[in-house]
Structures are given as structure tokens and as C-alpha cells.
Amino acid sequence: MTFSDIFKSSFLENIASVSILDMVLSVFLSLCIGLFIFLIYKKTFQGVMYSSSFGVTLVALTMISNFVILAVTSNVVLSLGMVGALSIVRFRTAIKEPLDIAFLFWAIAAGIVLAAGMIPLAVFGSVLIGLVLLVFANRKAHLNPYIVVLQCEDHQAENNAVSYLNEVTNRCVVKSKTAMKERIELNVEVRMKDSNTDFINTLADMAGVKSAVLVSYNGDYMG
């Protein structure tokens, strides 16, 4: 063993495994695509409270997955160790919006594709996904379901109210019915013909109807 062999380090030899130009270009592009994903997230957010930290997380995820895959592609042994290390990671943060899962996978996938050198695929795919989300996530259709909460005095008032809803809406389905003394409460799912909600005032003024409330409904909760 020579004197130079003592100070030889495989760690130092791995410094040049990825060129500086490739690293700078890949990380810069991942930053740009991460910011693009963040912008699309802000434009399409429909939750109750907007979280700016989640948007920053999308940018960070794109860059983190990018340089992790850069390291993995340059060293086969490191790739095996990375699989073992990541297998013990557990994330317990609840995802409240289903669409947030799509953004998380988008950020991770964009970083991976960029690190693999498929720059046109990463750019074109991100632009296409962004356009699709902008078109469909921001779509405010009057066909979205609504719930009409009715309180009627008797069975005749109930029939009149349901008949009126069948006339002014495209679809009317009684979801639940609670009968009590001198009061009948109904939860009716309706699909409106247009965005006009004046029919709820007419419904509330009908004889025998104590109250009529229209609430938005997304299939999971009412509010």
C-alpha cells in the first residue's frame, strides 16, 4: 500500500460522477417546474383555508426528488441504500383535499423525470397537466349537487314542496326523511337547471312549509 492509497477516498471520487452543468441545469429546471406547480395549485385551490406552506412543499418536493434521483442514477450501490432508507420513512400528515394528492405526485414525478434527463417530457407533461387542472378544477357548473333542507307541517305540504322541486330542477331525490309530531324534515338532493337559486324563496313561502334552506354539497359533507 502506497502513501497515496492511504488518503484515497471513494467519497471524493464520487464528486465528479455528475457534472456541474448537469446538476445546475437539473436543479434550476426543477425549481422552475416546482414554481409552476405552485402557481397552478394557487389558481385551482378550492378548499376552506389556503395553506401557503403546502405550496412551498410542492416546490421543495420537486427539487428534493430531483437531486435524490440524480444521486441514484449515478451510483447503483447508492440506489439500493436509498430504497432501504426511504422504506422506513412514514408520513402521517392527513391530506384533506383529494386534489392535493395529485399535486404531490405531480411534484415528485416532475423531479424524477428531470433527473432522468427527460427534459422535454417533464416540461410538456407539466404544462399539459397544468392546463387540464386549470380547465377542470376551476369549472363551476350549476349541475353540482345541492341539498335542500325542508321542514313541513304535514304530508300535504311535503308533497307540494317535492312536486315543486321536481318542476324547477333537473333532478330531485329525497335522501332522508324525519317525521315528528306536527313537523316533517326532509333532506332533498337537487340538480339545478341553472345558477338561479330564487326558487328556494318561493319554496319557503309555500303554505305548510316552515323553512327551506339550500346548502352546497360535494358528496362528503354538507356546509
The CATH number assigned to the domain holding 177 equals 3.30.70.260
Look up the pTM and report it. Answer: 0.61
The pLDDT, as a whole number, for residue 77 is 55
Low-confidence ranges of the chain (pLDDT < 70): 1-18, 47-48, 74-95, 138-144, 217-223
The pLDDT, as a whole number, for residue 139 is 65
The pLDDT, as a whole number, for residue 127 is 92
The pLDDT, as a whole number, for residue 32 is 93
Examine the fold and report which residue of 87, 117, 137 is the final residue of a domain before the chain moves on: 137
Q: Examine the domain organization and report whether 31 and 109 are in the same domain.
A: yes
The pLDDT, as a whole number, for residue 2 is 53
Helix (H, G, I), strand (E, B) or coil at 187: strand
Q: Examine the domain organization and report whether 51 and 113 are in the same domain.
A: yes
In terms of residue numbers, what domain contains 76? 11-137
How many C-beta atoms surround the C-beta of residue 55 within 10 A? Answer: 20
The pLDDT, as a whole number, for residue 91 is 58
Q: Examine the domain organization and report whether 84 and 174 are in the same domain.
A: no
* Grid cell of 189 as nine digits: 338532493
Helix (H, G, I), strand (E, B) or coil at 80: helix
Contacts of 175 (CB under 8 A, 6+ apart): 147, 187, 188, 189
Q: Which among 197, 215, 45, 47 is positioned nearest to 145, based on CA atoms?
A: 215
Helix (H, G, I), strand (E, B) or coil at 47: coil
